[in-house]
Structure 1
Amino acid sequence: MELGISTFLETAKHPVTGQSTSHAERLRQAVEEIVLADQVGLDVYGIGEHHRPDYASSAPAVVLAAAAAMTKRIRLSSAVTVLSSDDPVRVYQSFSTLDGISNGRAEIMAGRGSFIESFPLFGYNLNDYDELFDEKLELLLKIRESEKVTWPGGHRPAIQNLGVYPRSVQDPLPVWIASGGSPESVARAGALGLPLALAIIGGMPERFAPLVDLYKKAAAQAGHDPATLPISTHSHGFISDTTEQAADLIYPSVQSQMNVLGRERGWPPYSRDSFDAARSLRGALYVGDPEFVAEKIVLLRRHLGVNRFFLHVDVSNIPHREILRTIELLGTKVAPIVRKEIARIEA
């Protein structure tokens, strides 16, 4: 069971203190977080691509590369790369370069993203939303499989027997498919024999069990062994010395973010009752002391059989010292409990 951190490198004002962080400072903080995560024994750190003023994460591979030479073991991933609005050649080159610097620790998590600002920014039509992802994923997989590439063209110009360099240390370079719960994307990942990453940010995580079953069924029907395909989940959370302290520290930030998203997407106002329900044992918020968060992760393993869990801790500009404390507790307290309990249950 792998445990890690995911982030969008938020820079928005804190809803209580009013403090904000510059993009440059948040980028430097991210490197510090990755180094700490490596030191406390976490397995992976992922950065999601965004192109909004309240995030500093438009170029995840660059940030991850800055920490690659300062770390030894931790895997370095996008979470996600918005492949639909990017060039698969450049995506491969960026992450194969990261793979070389880190000596084989880079990963790509490919998805459509949770926002659409990258489409007009890079000149893509939202009417081509699904077609863009399918075509560019096909090209990315072709690039990682072969040094020389021939591509007939489509939304991206044709390529005629040209090499793509540098080649990755890992062969092949890991590519995960990220899904927010769409059956179509889950089935596609299974049919392609690619690892699956599920974003679980609401409801009860066990409700995703039918999607896991669909993924495994699609993989088996395509001739892949489902037992060899990793499954990851990503959920928001926060760890402190006591559950009450964790809840009180993170609630204003979660409420602020949910209300911002709610105004954009037509959701009702977010309340403390909603927050408390989400952080209950069967909810999707992993907020609490190390023992409680570990219990929730073990329960997630039982329900979904996941191999990796990302804790997303960067919400509405939480003070950086609190993010570092969460990383420390996840690595030194939560991870040992989770691994010991899973070993006991599955022995």
Structure 2
Amino acid sequence: MELGIGMFGDLQVNAKGEIQPAKQRLQEIIEEVKLMDEVGLDFYGIGEHHRPDYAVSSPEIVLAAAATVTKNIKLGSAVSVLSSSDPVKLYQNFATIDLISNGRAELMAGRGSFIESFPLFGYNLADYDALFEEKLDLLVKINKNETLSWKGKFRPELNEQMVLPRADHNHLNIWVAVGGTPASVVRAGKLGLPVMFAIIGGNPAQFQPLFEYYKQAYEDHGHDMNNFKVGVHMHSFFGENSQAVADYYYPVYAAQMDRIGRSRGWPPFQKGQFDFGRSKHGALIIGDVNEAVDKILQMHELFGLTRFSAHMDVGGPSHEHMMKSIELYGTQIAPKVREALKK
């Protein structure tokens, strides 16, 4: 099982409501990815947002910068909002990162949990599902064919067009991010694409039927089970002392949940939700090394994972705390998980 980190590039917001400059956060992110590589984590993913509380609107630029300061870690989006992007340009951008990084780039396509990119790039939210389905179809075809003809509803057609440059070995690793929608899971299974499930609330065991739907669709459409890949993305944060890291992180995490919740009609985030999330049956992995190891192994056993992604910057914790969390993950948590999986 691969172990890595996902981020959205959350900006810190102080008590006065002042937002951290994006310039500062972007420079911190590059330092953090460099440390991830040094401590031996397997992959890094960065999300795409177009809001004042996030630093990253173009994952490709951040990943290209990260490629120059890392040697081994895989570098991907988490996610690229495919519905409001051009699949041709998106493929070209990630193929370029793949060449710069010597084959370490990945593209994770998603529909996006925020909607700002749709009006920004001139798309109609009424086409939310149709946009994603059509553009994923084109992206997969581009990945398989250097020259292609294609016609759809939302993008001008292609007539024997070459899409260059090509990714290393003429193949780009493409993942699909899904929430709790069975249709999305089955679509990815039919295409034989790896899936990353976002589990950010409730009891993770409730997702088990979706994993079964995905595996069944993958098998039913004749894809090689030796290439089967599935992962989870869960809110995580690590410290040397469980209660101390929880006490530090709760106000940071709750403030971000409330900022997002105000635009979505959620009730205020409660301490009881946080405590349940940290429990054995919850979806938060926030605590010390042993707690993290136990819960990651629990997720592996429950779902048969090939990848675990710790989403580590919700709410914009300090750079100092981020670096400590990354260090613990790479030097203590990951080795213990890997050793346990060998048994």
TM over 0.5: yes
- Provide the rounded CA distance (Å) in 1 between the counterparts of 2:322 and 2:118: 31
State the 1:19 CA deviation: 6.4
Amino acid aligned to 1:69: T
| Post-superposition offset of 1:217 | 0.6
Percent pairwise identity: 51
Q: CA deviation at 1:312?
A: 1.0
User: Could you state the TM-score of these two structures normalised by the residue count of structure 2?
Assistant: 0.97
Where does residue 115 of structure 2 map in the other structure? 116
1:240 equivalenced with 2:235 (yes/no): no
User: Could you say what secondary structure the match of 2:170 adopts?
Assistant: coil
Note the 1:6-155 alignment, pairs <5 A.
6-15=6-15, 20-155=19-154
Aligned position for 1:331 = 330
Question: 3-state DSSP class of the match of 1:255?
Answer: helix
1:334 and 1:157 mapped to 2: Cα distance?
A: 48
State which drifts further: 260-269 or 303-312.
260-269
Q: Deviations over 1:153-180 (max 9, x none)?
A: 4201011111111100043201111001
User: How big is the shift at 1:125?
Assistant: 0.5
Write the distance in 2 (CA, Å) between the matches of 1:43 and 1:189: 23
User: Quick one: distance in 2 between partners of 1:118 and 1:18?
Assistant: 24
Contact 2:191 2:218 in 1 (8 A): yes
Q: Runs in 1 of length 4+ with deviation above 3 angstroms?
A: 17-20
What is residue 217 of structure 1 aligned with on the other side?
Answer: 216
Find the counterpart in structure 1 of residue 3 from structure 2: 3
CA contact (8 A) 1:20 1:317 kept: no
Contact 1:14 1:316 survives alignment (8 Å): no
What is the aligned residue count?
343
Alignment of structure 1 residues 198-217 onto 2, 5 Å: 198-217=197-216
1:221-232 to structure 2, matched below 5 A, reads: 221-232=220-231
Structure 1 distance, partners of 2:18, 2:2, is 33
Looking at structure 1, the residues matched to 149 and 63 of structure 2 have their Cα atoms a distance apart, in angstroms, of 30
Partner of 2:293: 294
| Pair 1:180–1:274, CA change in 2 (3 A) | same
1:50-105 deviations in Å (ceiling 9; x for gaps):
00011111100110110102211100010000000000011001000000000000
Whichever residue aligns with residue 11 of structure 2, its letter is T
CA distance in 2, matches of 1:301, 1:206: 12
- Structure 2 residues not aligned, in runs of 5+: none
Return the TM-score normalized by structure 1: 0.96
2:181 match: 182
Post-superposition CA distance 1:100-119 (Å, at most 9, x none): 00000000100101100000
Long gaps (5+) in structure 1: none
Instruction: State how far apart, in whole Å, the 2-side matches of 1:96 and 1:126 are.
Output: 29
